[in-house]
Amino acid sequence: MIPLISSDSSQHWITGPPRIPKPETRLSYPLITDEEKIYTCLEKTILVFNNNGSIINRIPLNHTCNPGMTPVLGASRKIYMIAENRVLKINTMKIRANESAWEVFLGPETGVQGLNKIIGLAVSISSSYVIVAIERRGLFGYRYDGRLKWSIGPAVNPTGYRQGCRRGFIGCFFISVPVIDLCDANIYVANNQGEVYSVSIRTRRFKWIQDLSWLDRNFTITAGNNGLLYATVPERSIIVALDVLTGSVKWQKVIGPLSTQDSAPVADNRGNLSY
């Protein structure tokens, strides 16, 4: 409001238009490669950092990236990331050559519709698959050339016996970012009923389903690359380790307190955890 002084020295106030808060602008979660380079995204720009914090490259995009999703490294130094209702592919070799480095891997431009809410993605280098999770639709397995090979929802009836969504199929869907273990190349994902799945990349078969609803229905999943899968419940500061072969609970520990609701440990290729 702006004060206005009139001739009689009385004070009046003129109310201006309300302030419209600016949308939050932040960097996406970073991808750190074995070349000690850091890839992140700010709105419509990919930023490449050295490990000392200096910026090496800025790559302009036509689409706004999702700051809540970490870019994923695939084969041949390709990086996959979510931007709006698309999955983009970035060729890091072209970045060095100052060529056009990105293209739409999945989206309207490639004839793929219905990617309005992408929960997350994962890449299996050994199996040459890009796995995309779409809200309320399921998991979709694409080859590196963009061909869809399979899709699956959270409940199946392969032999007349339903697997998954034991509390009811209606309103049951995957809610977690899919993760892939470097050792066994299986997909791990959770639904909104507190069930964790181990899914074969090649056959899309459910290898096991473990019900963790006794723990919580909101947790993050981390592949340990050491025979264990970790489910973290930030709200309760609990981490549970599952056997990747059977889904059985090996142990649980209290950790934290954790700083955010999406906190999860980071596992290196030797299975060491850091929080």
Give the residue, 141 or 185, on which the prediction is more confident: 141
Listed by start position, the domains of the chain span: 24-112
| Percent of the residues in the chain that have a pLDDT greater than 90, as a whole number | 50
Mean pLDDT of 204-231: 91
Give the residue, 158 or 205, on which the prediction is more confident: 205
Give the pLDDT confidence of 106-127 residue by residue, as tens digits. 998 888 877 778 999 999 998 8
List of residues 6+ apart from 137 with CB closer than 8 A: 114, 151, 153, 173
pLDDT surpasses 70 at 3: no
Task: Give how far Cα 269 sits from Cα of 7, 35, 92, 186, 208, Å.
Answer: 77, 15, 22, 16, 24
Q: What is the 3-state secondary structure (H, E, C) of the chain?
A: CEEEECCCCCEEEECCCCCCCCCCCCCCCCEECCCCEEEEEECCEEEEEECCCCEEEEEECCCCECCCCCCEECHHHEEEEEECCEEEEEEHHHHHCCCCCEEEEECHHHCCCCCCCEEEEEEECCCCEEEEEECCCEEEEEECCCCEEEEECCCECCCCCCECCCCCCCCCCECCCCEECCCCCEEEEEECCCEEEEEECCCCCEEEEEECCCCCCCCEEEECCCCEEEEEECCCCEEEEEECCCCCEEEEEECCCCCCCCCCCEECCCCCEEC
**Would you state the pLDDT for residue 169?**
84
Give the residue, 115 or 180, on which the prediction is more confident: 180
Give the residue, 5 or 259, on which the prediction is more confident: 259
**Would you state the pLDDT for residue 2?**
44
**Would you state the pLDDT for residue 244?**
94
Give the pLDDT confidence of 4-60 residue by residue, as tens digits. 444 444 444 444 455 555 556 788 888 988 888 999 999 999 999 998 889 999 999
pLDDT surpasses 70 at 157: yes
Q: The domain at 24-112 falls in which architecture?
A: Beta Barrel (2.40)
**Would you state the pLDDT for residue 14?**
45
**Would you state the pLDDT for residue 51?**
86
CA angle 13, 16, 20 (to 5 degrees): 145
**Would you state the pLDDT for residue 195?**
96
Tokens 């929802």, residue located: 153
Mean pLDDT of the chain: 84
**Would you state the pLDDT for residue 156?**
87
Model confidence at 154, pLDDT cuts 50, 70, 90, reads very high
Mean pLDDT of 234-257: 89
